[in-house]
């Protein structure tokens, strides 16, 4: 029996409309009744996730910013890491051959230099939004992560540019096909979950995890039981071919799997 369950949010726990289904919420509450701890492991900001868990009335640890922050049930910071200021300055002040928009994050929130109302649909439940500003005025020592949003092929070409410029000074990953993240070295959901589990007196073998994108890879491959969503990025399924694939987030597949696991753990599981 797993003692800690970690969940990616978008494309995993949330449905395509970015809402949490009632079946999923009920199943999460069942896990807590079984004394299984919850961790939401996401690229979303800690401020937004704290608002969400408060609205849902769930006790959950938070791994946010793709592993740059870890918070306790009470909101205490257990771990934090920011981008190297030289990396932040390079990314924010260089001219990149891309049509993608650029977004910067720190503990105060989300900053961008171009209004993109369509991006706010993913945050309608929490009401979390960006601040418009000249990103070149953002202090380089106060940047947690940076992400580029755009077409996947464009972002793939941009990743080559960023890798050439930054080398081993940053961790690059796709948190979605349309979102390329620039993260501090060593920051990923798997490393954050390892730290959290250790602080709880657990090992990663005591954990289960669910995810759909390449920023979930380290987490899924390190836990005792990792599950890939049916709607996952093809790159993730190719990278972790030994892990089981469950159903689509549209059908609340996480709830479907966990209900089977809680009620009939000795029977084989088949996706809905």
User: Mind telling me the catalytic residues?
Assistant: 8
- Bridge partner residues of 72 (DSSP): none
CB count, 10 Å around CB of 250?
A: 13
Task: Describe the chain by its helix, strand, coil percentages, rounded to 5.
Answer: 40, 20, 40
DSSP track, 38-103: EEEE-SS-HHHHHHHHHHHT---EEEETTTTEEE-TTS-EEEE----HHHHHHHHHS--S---EEE
Stretch (H or E) spanning 7: strand 4-7
Q: Rounded to an integer, what distance in angstroms lies between the CA atom of residue 138 and that of residue 114? A: 15
Residue 179 CB coordination number (10 Å): 21
* CB contact at 8 A, 236 and 218: no
């Amino acid at each position: 029996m797993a003692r800690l369950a970690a969940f990616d949010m978008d494309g995993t726990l949330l449905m395509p409309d970015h809402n949490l289904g009632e079946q999923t919420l009920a199943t999460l509450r069942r896990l807590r009744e079984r004394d299984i701890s919850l961790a939401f492991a996401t690229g979303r900001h800690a401020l937004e996730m704290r608002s969400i868990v408060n609205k849902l009335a769930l006790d959950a640890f938070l791994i946010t910013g793709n592993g740059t922050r870890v918070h306790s049930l009470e909101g205490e910071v257990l771990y934090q890491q920011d981008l190297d200021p030289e990396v932040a300055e390079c990314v924010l002040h260089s001219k990149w051959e891309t049509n993608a928009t650029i977004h910067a994050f720190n503990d105060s929130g989300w900053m961008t230099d171009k209004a993109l109302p369509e991006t706010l649909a993913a945050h309608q439940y929490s009401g979390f939004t960006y601040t418009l500003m000249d990103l070149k005025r953002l202090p380089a020592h106060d940047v947690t992560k940076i992400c580029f949003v755009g077409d996947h092929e464009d972002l793939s070409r941009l990743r080559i540019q960023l890798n050439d410029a930054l080398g081993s000074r940053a961790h690059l990953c796709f948190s979605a096909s349309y979102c390329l993240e620039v993260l501090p070295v060593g920051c990923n959901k798997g490393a954050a979950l390892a730290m959290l589990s250790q602080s709880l007196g657990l090992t990663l073998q005591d954990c289960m995890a669910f995810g759909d994108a390449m920023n979930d890879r380290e987490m899924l491959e390190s836990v005792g039981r990792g599950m890939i969503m049916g709607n996952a990025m093809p790159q993730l399924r190719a990278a972790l071919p030994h892990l089981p694939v469950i159903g689509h987030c549209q059908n609340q597949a996480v709830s479907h799997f966990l209900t089977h696991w809680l009620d009939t753990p000795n029977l084989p599981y088949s996706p809905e």
